[in-house]
Amino acid sequence: MTSENLAVLRVGDVLLVTVPSDPDDETVTALQERVLQAMERHEAKGLMLDITTVETMDSFFARTLAETAQMVTLMGGRTVIAGMRASVAITATQLGLTLGKVRTALDVDRALKLLDGAHRKRART
């Protein structure tokens, strides 16, 4: 997938980016640029990176994600990475890759709730 196909969607005051399944270094760099530009343009409060389809994660990708999150924080937003596959998580851990202090969520739904700070419900037994 080329960087041309990257879409940064705005949902309310949150930016939504779906990372392509096998991102190369160029795509990852372009992704960072696009996200930061969109943050500035929309004055978004949050960024969600959906990596559900990503099958492999290398050190460059992991580092860029962590750095992007830091940059977004500096611009006044919060970042949540959503939907990492179990196999990707295991490989990443074994390779010693970390995402720094970035928040993670199981899926897009939970990520949105995290960003909204509004996932409140009650259960009765």
Partner 1 sequence: MAVGTSGAVAVLEKYKSRILEDWIEGQLRDPRIRGELFKQPDALQRQCQDFIDALVRAAVAEGLDYDDSPQYQEVKSVLADVAEERRQQGFDAQETAAAIISFKDHWIPLLQTEFQDDPGALSAELIAVAKLIDSLALAMFEQTLRETEDRARLLVENVKDYALVTLDSGGHVISWNAGAQRITGYRADEILGRHFSCFYSADDVQQGKTERELNTASTDGRFEDEGWRTRKDGSRFWANTIITALRDRKSKLQGFALVSRDISERKRAEEQIKRQAREIQELSTPVMQVWQGIVAAPLIGSLDSQRTQQFMERLLQRIVETNSPVALVDITGVPTIDTQTAQHIIETISAVRLLGAQVILTGVRPTTAQTLVHLGIDLSNIITRSSLAGGLRVALEALDLEVLSKNGSRQGDTT
Report if residue 119 touches partner 1, rule: CB under 8 A. Answer: yes
Alpha-carbon distance 89 to 98, whole Å? 10
Among 22, 67, 107, 116, indicate the residue that binds partner 1 (CB under 8 A): 107
Binding footprint of partner 1, residue count (CB under 8 A): 29
The answer to whether 21 and 1 have CB atoms below 8 angstroms apart is yes
Could you say whether residue 110 binds partner 1 (CB under 8 A)? yes
Position 90 contacts partner 1 (CB under 8 A): yes
CA distance 81 to 102: 7
Nearer to partner 1, 4 or 124 (CB): 124
Q: Determine the Cα–Cα distance for residues 61 and 48; give it in Å rounded to an integer.
A: 16
Three-state DSSP state, 10: strand
Structure tokens at 95: 């390779």
Decide: is 120 part of the binding site for partner 1 (CB under 8 A).
yes
Between residues 1 and 90, which has the closer beta carbon with respect to partner 1?
90
Under rule CB under 8 A, residue 118 binds partner 1: no
Of residues 16, 84, 112, 115, which one binds partner 1 by CB under 8 A? Answer: 84
C-alpha triplet 69, 12, 47: angle, nearest 5°: 10
What is the C-alpha to C-alpha distance for residues 94 and 10, in angstroms, rounded to an integer?
Answer: 34
Report if residue 98 touches partner 1, rule: CB under 8 A: yes
Binding site for partner 1 (CB under 8 A): 80-86, 88-90, 92-94, 98-99, 103-107, 110-111, 119-125
